[in-house]
Amino acid sequence: MTLTRKVQENRISYTVNNSRKFIPQYQLNINAINRCIDFAYAMSFGAQGEHRANRSGGRKVRSNGEIFCDAFNGKLGEFAIHQYLANQNIYLHEPDLEVYGRGRWDDTDFLYNGYHLSVKTTKHIGNLLLLERDDWDQNGHYIPNYESPSGGRYDAIILVRVDSDIVKLFKNNKKYYNNVITRNELDAMLNNFSCSFDIPGYADLASLQQIITNNQIIEQGSYLGQYTRMDATNYYIQSGNLTPISHLIHQLGETVTGTSKTNK
């Protein structure tokens, strides 16, 4: 299902019409949160690694505050999936916390018995799985990972919603657009930080290929809702069109018994 598209006075806007309500069923453990803080600080203010200052096809150059929030929320989502699947007796390697420099990043968020799994994280009010168009080819492969063992192919892209309010917290403390924050300042801001999450579903490779073939996009410069202007063109899938995570649990469970994919 496509978003509702409206054109008025040279302004293009999109509205979600097939959403899933956020249900904060799960709480991320504090050890995972602290490790996400360490990682995001190193990749931003700590200058030990480097995230792209702008998105693929995007124009906006991000501050270290923005990079921290993006890296933090993204890693929270990975730990959320790791924790959730462990509770389903599916045990993955821990999320990659290596601090990479420019031009290097982790290949696949998780690999389980031949299944390449990617995790995309959004805030709790989000209802879209967004994928920057310039990062994906017509076969649904992730272009930056062509030379990796996965070849850029993901069997499932899982959407996680986190109720972290990290962006609001940074903005309230006037740190969101900062490039310098001491670790003591950061720790004071994040004292007693907690995070709940839910998993509205996932998209398999066939679903991804379909939206690419259909050119299902939100254009750069258009608006999502009333206020959010898109910095880059993105493919999208609405949360209500995602496959429930229970289906993926079943598939991954089958790999253990050998009735589905075999190990690579």
Query: Residue 46 has which token pair?
Result: 């700590």
Q: What is the DSSP secondary structure assignment for residue 143, as one 8-state letter? A: G
How many residues appear in the chain? 264
Nearest 5°: phi and psi at 173? -95, 10
Give the distance, in angstroms, between the CA of residue 57 and the centroid of all CA atoms in the same chain.
17
Strands 26-27, 196-204: pairing is antiparallel
Sheet of 26-27, strand order? 26-27, 196-204, 156-163, 115-123, 110-112
Q: Which residues contact 119 (CB under 8 A, 6 or more apart)?
A: 74, 77, 78, 81, 109, 110, 157, 158, 160
Query: Residue 166 has which token pair?
Result: 């990290």
Q: What is the DSSP secondary structure assignment for residue 16, as one 8-state letter? A: -
* DSSP of 97-134: -----TT---S-SEEETTEEEEEEEEETT--EEEEEGG
pLDDT at 58: 58
Q: Which residues, in sequence order, are bridge partners of residue 15?
A: 4
Distances (CA, A) of 149 to 78, 143, 154: 20, 13, 11
Crossing angle, helix 64-87 and helix 30-42, to 10 degrees? 150
**What is the C-alpha separation between 24 and 253, in angstroms, rounded?**
25
pLDDT at 109: 82
The closest of 242, 249, 245 to 210, measured between CA atoms, is: 242
The closest of 166, 141, 160, 162 to 152, measured between CA atoms, is: 141
Per-residue pLDDT of the chain (264 residues; tens, 9 = 90+): 999 999 999 899 999 999 999 999 899 999 999 999 999 999 999 977 554 555 556 566 899 999 999 999 999 999 999 999 999 999 999 999 987 654 444 456 899 999 999 999 999 999 999 999 999 999 999 999 998 888 999 999 999 999 998 999 999 999 999 999 999 999 999 999 999 999 999 999 999 999 999 999 999 999 999 999 999 999 999 999 999 999 999 999 886 555 444 333
- Cβ atoms < 10 Å from Cβ of 12: 14
**Cα first-last separation, the chain:** 34
**What is the C-alpha separation between 120 and 76, in angstroms, rounded?**
10
